[in-house]
């Protein structure tokens, strides 16, 4: 008989997670990623982020409408963070995501002696507390 109510269950494999911050972001910078193609509500989504020290980083999930959600977080330490995303207690494809969190203010130049024009100069760039990433050095006149 009518009306007929059908329960539709979204398969977590159809959810698309995207955003630059899933791969890398800076310490202290509000960062976000989006979940799209979601047939459900905010209570169905769980985001857990573990820092390298084992502490959990809080994440706020916001409903943007039309099956799209935004998750925002702000990492406090450098290093690889694990981002776990689940929908109705099932991990979405790609979860956990490895997010490389870096801290450019932790890069220090050491042992830099005064240079002489035409002679090589050696210096040490200390990055051990800056987190993962690629270092690029540019020398200007």
pTM: 0.80
Examine the pLDDT at 9 and tell me if it is beyond 70: no
Contact 60, 33 (CB under 8 A): no
pLDDT band for position 10 (cuts 50, 70, 90)? low
Q: Is the dihedral of CA 26, 30, 34, 35 positive or negative?
A: positive
Which of 41-50, 83-92, 97-106, 127-136 has the least mean pLDDT?
Answer: 127-136
pLDDT (tens digit per residue) in 58-105: 999 999 999 999 999 999 999 999 999 999 999 999 999 999 999 988
Are 19 and 32 in contact, with CB atoms under 8 Å apart? Answer: yes
Query: What's the pLDDT band for 7 if we cut at 50, 70, 90?
Result: very low
């Amino acid at each position: 008989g009518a009306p007929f109510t059908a329960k539709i269950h979204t398969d977590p494999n159809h959810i698309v997670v995207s955003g630059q911050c899933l791969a890398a972001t800076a310490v202290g910078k509000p960062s976000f990623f989006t979940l799209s193609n979601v047939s459900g509500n905010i209570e169905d989504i769980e985001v857990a982020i573990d820092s390298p020290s084992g502490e959990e980083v809080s994440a706020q999930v916001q409903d943007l409408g039309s099956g799209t959600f935004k998750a925002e977080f702000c990492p406090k330490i450098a290093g690889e963070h694990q981002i776990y995303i689940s929908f109705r207690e099932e991990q979405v494809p790609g979860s956990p995501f490895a997010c490389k969190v870096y801290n450019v203010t932790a890069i220090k130049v050491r042992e830099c002696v005064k240079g002489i024009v035409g002679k090589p100069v050696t210096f040490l760039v200390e990055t051990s507390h800056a987190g993962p990433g690629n270092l690029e050095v540019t020398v200007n006149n």
